[in-house]
């Protein structure tokens, strides 16, 4: 699963200087295409709803499915997302398009990082590519 949090559905039009010009549809296609090349069946999802993201994380844990997670704004304050990530039963990699530590101070802390298997940030869509490679490598 590739799970995306709030505002990521607006990629391409949302602050392209920070998040790049790739649209959300482009991100989905990129993840699916690379997934096929790596032998992964990639399911890409996006929600602006914290509860939905938690439900998807529970689904992944129950099914022992690896996850690439961009929690977006939930990164910094959602203990519900953090606690759902802590229940993971397979690899989970936190990703960010931008580099949070080079941005506003409130973005410098992730409540998710401590319970994720790893974090990749600041490489745009490349963050997702690296995470999928890591998942495929086991």
Tokens 């690379």 correspond to: 34
Please confirm, yes or no, whether 133 is among the known catalytic residues: no
Whether 69 and 3 have beta carbons less than 8 Å apart is answered as: yes
Please confirm, yes or no, whether 19 is among the known catalytic residues: yes
Q: What is the CA radius of gyration of the chain?
A: 14
The token pair at 54 is 């938690």
Catalytic member of 24, 58, 79, 96: 96
76 annotated as a binding-site residue? yes
7 annotated as a binding-site residue? no
4 annotated as a binding-site residue? no
63 annotated as a binding-site residue? no
**Rounded distance, CA 27 to CA 89, Å?**
25
Catalytic member of 19, 77, 79, 128: 19
Task: Find all residues with CB under 8 Å of 111, minimum gap 6, and list them.
Answer: 75, 76, 77, 78, 79, 81, 82
The secondary structure element, H or E, covering residue 92 is: strand 92-96
The secondary structure element, H or E, covering residue 16 is: helix 16-19
107 annotated as a binding-site residue? yes
**Where is the binding site, in residues?**
70, 76, 83, 97-98, 107
**Where is the binding site for substrate, in residues?**
70, 76, 83, 97-98, 107
Known catalytic residues are 19, 96
């Amino acid at each position: 699963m590739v799970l995306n949090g709030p505002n990521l559905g607006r990629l391409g039009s949302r602050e392209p200087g920070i998040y790049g010009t790739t649209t959300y549809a482009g991100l989905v296609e990129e993840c699916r295409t690379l997934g096929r090349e790596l032998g992964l069946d990639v399911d890409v999802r996006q929600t602006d709803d914290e509860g939905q993201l938690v439900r998807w994380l529970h689904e992944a844990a129950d099914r022992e499915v690896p996850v690439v997670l961009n929690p977006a704004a939930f990164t910094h304050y959602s203990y519900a997302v953090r606690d759902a990530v802590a229940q993971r039963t397979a690899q989970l990699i936190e990703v960010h398009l931008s580099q949070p530590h080079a941005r506003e101070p409130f973005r410098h802390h992730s409540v998710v990082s401590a319970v994720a298997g790893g974090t990749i940030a600041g490489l745009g869509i490349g963050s997702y590519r690296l995470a999928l490679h890591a998942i495929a490598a086991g």
